[in-house]
Amino acid sequence: MPTPPRSARRAVELFVATFRNPQTRGQRRTYMEEFLLFLAGALATSERELLTSDLLDEEAVTVWLTAAQRGATRRRTGMQGPHTAASVSAMAARTTTINGFSRHFGRPLNLPVPQATLANRLSPSEAVRTLRLLSGHPPAKMFSATWQRTVAVLALAVATRCGIADLHPLRLEDLELKRRPARVRIGEEHFPLDTLTTTILGRWLETHADLTAQEKDGAPHGLQGGQVQELWVTTAPGRPRAGQPARRPGLPAARRTLESAHRTLMMEALGSPLLLEQFCSIDPDEQPAGDGTARVNRAAAR
């Protein structure tokens, strides 16, 4: 096992670099950065002054996790306001992250990881009927292009029963809408797409092409150097940061952007915070033997 560096910042960088999967690496970085920022504030010091031993102090870790659970470290407003309590899944991810960090440097904390429960799933017919309802027109307070993208993500979730971790990395080449039957490639598998899903995706691809076009009305519009190949792109300008101008739409969309838009659509259109995984109905062939109560969904397992 590696010798812990003195600098907490350096230790975080070394730990994060051990993950090959970019999504896992991004999640671990997010929570370790959150811990660094929280601890620096609690100790009235700068992040550069923090030591690795500070991050391995169980009392400090407990204080951070407690604050995070009640929403004190939240950077985005939740459904119940700016200090919405963290979900069980988010707390499980934080705990797993700090357990991994401490184990990596030979001082395992072995904190108990909260166990998330799976949300009730819609039946296949309920999922399709709800998708059809949502695909009709955008809510009054939702930008049309954002609605089109969000419904497209939802349509793929319903058709494939795959969650956001599988759907976010998709690229344009993974869709074969002109093939009969149309299909999408996710990982090493191909999933057939019905007419409704194909129509929804075709609508989004037209908007995607407009958002990422290099010219619009004769003026420079998109990225220089070629079309954006990621399937999911931003639909509105980003926020100006550190004195830099706002980033234009049509850039690859972050996973959290897709998740936030999904929450907005659910609340604006249905008035209910349905999760994307709840649309990933369970195939009867995938239910485990026994009384059927211990359902495990493939989307949640990933």
pLDDT at 56: 96
> pLDDT, tens digit, for every residue of 99-117?
999 999 999 999 999 886 6
Q: 296 pLDDT band (50/70/90 cuts)?
A: very low
> pLDDT, tens digit, for every residue of 30-68?
999 999 999 999 999 999 999 999 999 999 999 999 999
Q: Determine the Cα–Cα distance for residues 190 and 131; give it in Å rounded to an integer.
A: 21
Residue 89 clears pLDDT 90, i.e. is over it: no
Q: Which two tokens stand for residue 191?
A: 């999933």
Helix (H) or strand (E) holding 189: strand 189-192
pLDDT at 252: 93
| Residue 1 or 230, more confident | 230
Three-class secondary structure of residue 220 per DSSP: strand
Three-class secondary structure of residue 224 per DSSP: coil
Q: Which residues, in sequence order, are CB contacts of 81 under 8 Å at separation 6+?
A: none
**Mean of pLDDT over the chain:** 84
DSSP 128-186: HHHHHHHTSS--TTS-HHHHHHHHHHHHHHHHH---HHHHTT-BGGGEE-SSSS-EEEE
Residue with tokens 């290099």: 214
> pLDDT, tens digit, for every residue of 114-167?
886 666 889 999 999 999 999 999 999 899 999 999 999 999 999 999 988 899
Question: Percent of the chain, pLDDT > 70?
Answer: 82
pTM, rounded to two decimals: 0.62
Q: Indicate the angle between helix axes 195-212 and 124-134, nearest 10 degrees.
A: 40
